[in-house]
């Protein structure tokens, strides 16, 4: 019988990629997350609108426990929600997860890929501004990102990060989605 070889650390110093568990509220968020998953080749698990307004810490805990991960993998939990529904907002702020909140909506995050938005704005105004910001957005439909729209989002993601970081957290306008992009960028660089 051959003796077992001792476990040796990876000679390349590669770290395990974290598992990103993202709770989100709608089809647009889900579509965007799947786009990030493909471009970053990241381990992202999405829990969508099925949870609806029932989002709470206990639910997050239950979902985390169901995820199968390797012993040395880390689960990072995020909440990607719009801050336009007051009944849900209180529950969101009570959860132990990294907030990726957009105020008023995720389309503000998309808009930041093309232009600044420093003054308060309603959801309908964000949609109008988004469609005017670049020709690729003229045909935008919630829940469906075209290949061209995805390319714009990918190519201008760091511009959006910079612009989102200049906005006041949780205020209208704001988006915390840049926190996820920064985590994915860091993970990509260490692998």
Q: Which H or E element spans position 76?
A: strand 75-80
Q: Give the integer Cα–Cα distance in Å for 81 and 96.
A: 14
Q: Which H or E element spans position 99?
A: strand 98-99
Q: Name the stretches of the chain with pLDDT < 70.
A: 1-15, 49-53, 190-191
Write out pLDDT tens, residues 109-141: 999 999 999 999 999 999 999 999 999 999 999
Q: Which H or E element spans position 78?
A: strand 75-80
Q: DSSP string spanning 166-189?
A: TSPTTSSSEE-THHHHHHHHHHHH
On average, the pLDDT of the chain sits at 88
- Please report the pLDDT score of residue 44 as a whole number: 94
Q: Give the integer Cα–Cα distance in Å for 125 and 40.
A: 31
Question: CB-hemisphere CA count at 13 Å for 14?
Answer: 7
Write out pLDDT tens, residues 52-73: 567 889 989 998 888 877 778 8
What φ, ψ does residue 94 adopt, rounded to 5°?
A: -90, -5
- Please report the pLDDT score of residue 33 as a whole number: 97
- Please report the pLDDT score of residue 159 as a whole number: 98
Q: Give the integer Cα–Cα distance in Å for 79 and 74.
A: 17
Cα 54 to the chain's mean position, in Å? 20
- Please report the pLDDT score of residue 87 as a whole number: 76
Candidates 86, 122, 87, 93; CA nearest to 107 is: 122
- Please report the pLDDT score of residue 3 as a whole number: 46
């Amino acid at each position: 019988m051959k003796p077992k070889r001792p476990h040796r650390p990876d000679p390349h110093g590669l770290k395990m990629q974290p598992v990103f568990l993202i709770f989100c509220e709608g089809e647009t968020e889900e579509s965007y997350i799947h786009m990030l998953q493909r471009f970053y080749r990241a381990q992202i698990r999405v829990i969508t609108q099925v949870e609806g307004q029932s989002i709470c810490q206990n639910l997050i805990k239950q979902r985390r426990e169901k995820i199968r991960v390797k012993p040395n993998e880390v689960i990072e939990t995020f909440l990607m929600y719009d801050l336009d529904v007051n009944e849900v907002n209180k529950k969101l702020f009570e959860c132990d997860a990294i907030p990726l909140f957009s105020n008023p909506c995720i389309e503000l995050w998309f808009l930041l890929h093309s232009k600044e938005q420093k003054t308060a704005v309603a959801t309908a105004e964000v949609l109008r501004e988004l469609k005017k910001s670049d020709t690729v957005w003229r045909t935008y439909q919630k829940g469906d990102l075209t290949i061209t729209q995805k390319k714009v989002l990918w190519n201008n993601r760091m511009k959006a990060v910079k612009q989102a970081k200049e906005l006041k957290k949780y205020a209208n306008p704001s988006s915390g989605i840049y926190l996820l992009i920064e985590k994915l960028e860091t993970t990509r660089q260490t692998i």
